[in-house]
Amino acid sequence: MNLLSHEHNALYEIEQALERIKLGTYGTCEVSGKPIPHERLQAIPFARCTVDIQSRLERDKGPRRFSEPAKSLFALPSGESSEEENGEEGLPNGEN
């Protein structure tokens, strides 16, 4: 389970890095707004912060994980429900 969780976290961070590329914010520290050095991005392509900021965050609060919304057992983000739960079971003519 621990290995699966680690892989899930890494995949999430990679997806978030790809999103930052689309938004044009990749390579910019999310806390200070300063550029993340190229060497750091080569070592950790999904880095969100500069080394100084990351060190300070870990020292102050422990390792920081930018997390995604919690998911239910059925992989729906919390607060969302399936179509069946909403009564939208795909009945013909919109009948419920």
42 inside domain: yes
53 inside domain: yes
Determine the structural domain holding residue 42 and report its residue range. Answer: 1-88
Report which of residues 23 and 79 the model is more confident about. Answer: 23
What is the domain-level CATH number for residue 80?
Answer: 1.20.120.910
pTM assigned to the model:
0.58
Cα distance between residue 71 and residue 62, in whole Å = 24
94 inside domain: no
User: Exposed, middle or buried, 27 (CB in 10 Å: 0-12/13-18/19+)?
Assistant: middle
| 2-11, 20-29, 49-58, 73-82: least confident range | 73-82
80 inside domain: yes
37 inside domain: yes
Total count of domains within the chain: 1
Q: What angle do CA 55, 32, 43 make, to 5 degrees?
A: 50
Residue 63's alpha-carbon distances to 21, 30, 85, in angstroms, are: 24, 15, 37
The percentage of the chain sitting over the pLDDT mark of 90, rounded to a whole number, equals: 49
* Average pLDDT of the segment spanning 50-58: 93
The residue type of 34 is K
Query: Is the model's pLDDT at 38 over the cut of 50?
Result: yes
Cα distance between residue 75 and residue 87, in whole Å = 19
